[in-house]
């Protein structure tokens, strides 16, 4: 983890045994182990918080992109609806202009001419 070999760990343990003494070494080792565990939990918690924060930021970016796409789609649908409405109004006006007035009766059709005798 820190680039420490087994032989270096053994040297550290022998020096600790000489400096601390055999009576206090188990208590010091237990305390060091507790500190080491706390430090590992703290580091893991920080890693988890950073990962969660990064994932949350990615989700926020994704949300922004989806909202932008939805707004673009909404604008496109709105524009298409407006175009279709205006074309429909134009068609209605053309139909009204070309249709005969219902108030004036149409002239009766002329009867067919009799066949000519030769």
Q: Cα–Cα distance between 49 and 37 in angstroms, integer?
A: 18
Give pLDDT, residue 2: 65
CA distance 27 to 72: 67
101 band by pLDDT with thresholds 50, 70 and 90: low
State the pLDDT at residue 80. 94
* pTM of the model as a whole: 0.47
Nearest to 17 by CA among 7, 27, 25: 25
Quote the tokens at residue 57.
């930021």
43-97: pLDDT as tens digits = 999 999 999 999 999 999 999 999 999 999 999 999 999 999 999 999 999 888 8
């Amino acid at each position: 983890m820190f680039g420490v070999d087994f032989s270096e760990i053994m040297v550290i343990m022998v020096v600790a045994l000489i400096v601390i003494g055999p009576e206090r070494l188990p208590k010091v080792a237990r305390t060091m182990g507790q500190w080491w565990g706390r430090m590992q939990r703290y580091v893991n918690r920080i890693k988890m918080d950073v990962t969660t924060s990064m994932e949350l930021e990615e989700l926020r970016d994704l949300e922004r992109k989806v909202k932008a796409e939805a707004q673009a789609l909404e604008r496109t649908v709105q524009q298409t609806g407006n175009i279709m409405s205006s074309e429909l109004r134009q068609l209605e006006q053309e139909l009204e202009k070309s249709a005969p007035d219902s108030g004036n009766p149409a002239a009766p059709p002329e009867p067919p001419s009799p066949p000519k005798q030769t």
